[in-house]
Copies of this chain bind each other. A is one copy, B any other.
Amino acid sequence: MINPRPGGPPVYLQLAEILRTRIVTGKIAAGQALPSERTLQQEHALGRHTVRKAMAVLRAEGLVTFVRGTGMVARERAERQRLVPPAGAAVLTRMPSSEERDEFDLDDGVPVFAVRTPEGSEQVFPGDRWVLIWPG
């Protein structure tokens, strides 16, 4: 139940927590649609901005994707490809630039690996589709 008392957590974070719980516990399975904006507004007696802000939180966490005309969908966990970087490489993680989001067709809330070789070149890998493996 959402509690709008002052001093407490913001309403949109309370709603995000409710939805997050449903997703991570599997009550809403991957690929399955979540309640629409309107439904959430009516069920919890909230304004549209508040509902959208809660949804934006989940999107930024990479838990959901939005499909226009369909709604908010719990994100599928893609199979990850294994990558062994070259010897001496340095690996950073960060959010992608807008160009990188376009190039790799990344959802909101998906970071990237940036692999820098000793020679100085940098290659970018979408964080939701790769796992880095250490030798050994």
Contact = CB atoms under 8 A, between A and B. Distances in A.
Interface in A78-136: 80, 85-98, 108-113, 118, 127-128, 131-136
Nearest to A133: B90
Nearest to A84: B134
A62 to B, nearest CB: 5
Nearest to A128: B94
Interface centre among A90, A95, A97 (most CB of B within 10 A): A95
6 shortest interchain CB distances as A-B pairs: A87-B136, A111-B111, A88-B136, A93-B127, A93-B93, A91-B132
A76 interface: no
A32 B135 CA distance: 42
A34 B111 CA distance: 25
Contacts of A60: 60, 95, 108-109
